[in-house]
Amino acid sequence: MKLAGKTALVTGGSRGIGRACVWALAKEGAKVAFTYNSNVEAAESLVKELELDQHEAVAIQANAADGAKAVELVDSLIEKWEKLDILVNNAGIIRDGLLMQMSEENWLDVINTNLNSIYYYCHAAIRSMISARSGRIINISSVAGRYGNPGQTNYAATKGGIDGFTRCLAYEVGRRGITVNSIAPGFIATDMTEAIRNAAEKEITKQIAVRRLGQPEDIANAVAFLASDDAAYITGQVLTIDGGLTLGSGM
């Protein structure tokens, strides 16, 4: 129970990597709130599962790209729990397509959800963490931010931006007892990657050194570690968790 007495917020926490992060933090003793965009059933189901396992959890419907909602949400959690110790920025979407065919709407949707949300939630939470001289911020990035993928100029731009944001903020708040790190997953078996898996899972697996797709728990376990006191001297880092997908010549 390395996070006993801690409070946490996970954006995009009702499914996939976010859901696994919620569980990992709760199992280590944290009280966990998570946001979801539209799937009420999935969010309510997760809360019930956590409560049955004797964990305190709160689900909050919020569009990650809504800056005003981020402030309202964080303030309400600090009022409820008197602090916010851990922030996991996980919310993200894909709108893949070649740039010459990409609409401005698909560009902006991805930028607003994946990158602007990092600013909104960090900006809302950081003042409280600075006052407490303690905090853990973990941003979920992607190997695409470093290596790129055709058809993902919008997505890769946001993930590369997250990594740069992480390094800069780590410099700004390190002396206040706050760590800021990024995790860059490789190919993880989630709803978001289902279409690609259905089309080419065997070929993708051959490119991964450990010869299997990643599971959401592979990322969540690292999130729980970075949120703990065991990781107090780790900040400004981008931790790649891809099973060796990007070894050698890259993706």
7-10 sheet: strands from edge to edge = 57-61, 31-36, 7-10, 86-89, 135-140, 178-185, 238-241
Q: State pTM to two decimals.
A: 0.95
Asked if 11 contacts 88 with a C-beta cutoff of 8 angstroms, the reply is yes
pLDDT, position 196: 67
pLDDT for 199 beyond 80: no
Distance CA 10, CA 180 (A): 15
Asked if 186 contacts 214 with a C-beta cutoff of 8 angstroms, the reply is yes
pLDDT digits (tens, 9 = 90+) for 17-75: 999 999 999 999 999 999 999 999 999 999 999 999 999 999 999 999 999 999 999 99
Query: What's phi and psi for 204, nearest 5 deg?
Result: -65, -45
Question: Is 120 among the residues known to form the active site?
Answer: no
Please name the residue that has the structure tokens 């065919």: 101
The number of beta carbons lying within 10 Å of the beta carbon of residue 8 is: 30
pLDDT for 250 beyond 60: no
Q: What is the CATH number of domain 7-241?
A: 3.40.50.720
Identified catalytic residue from 121, 155, 171, 233: 155
Element (H, E) at 40: helix 40-52
Query: What's phi and psi for 97, nearest 5 deg?
Result: 165, 150
pLDDT, position 191: 77
161: amino acid identity, one letter: G
> Taking the domains of the chain in order of start, what are their residue ranges?
7-241
pLDDT digits (tens, 9 = 90+) for 118-136: 999 999 999 999 999 999 9
Confidence of residue 149 (pLDDT cuts 50, 70, 90): confident
Single out the residue of 82, 22, 96, 33 nearest to residue 62, CA to CA: 33
pLDDT, position 192: 73
Beta strands in the chain (DSSP E): 7-10, 31-36, 57-61, 86-89, 135-140, 178-185, 238-241
pLDDT for 152 beyond 90: yes
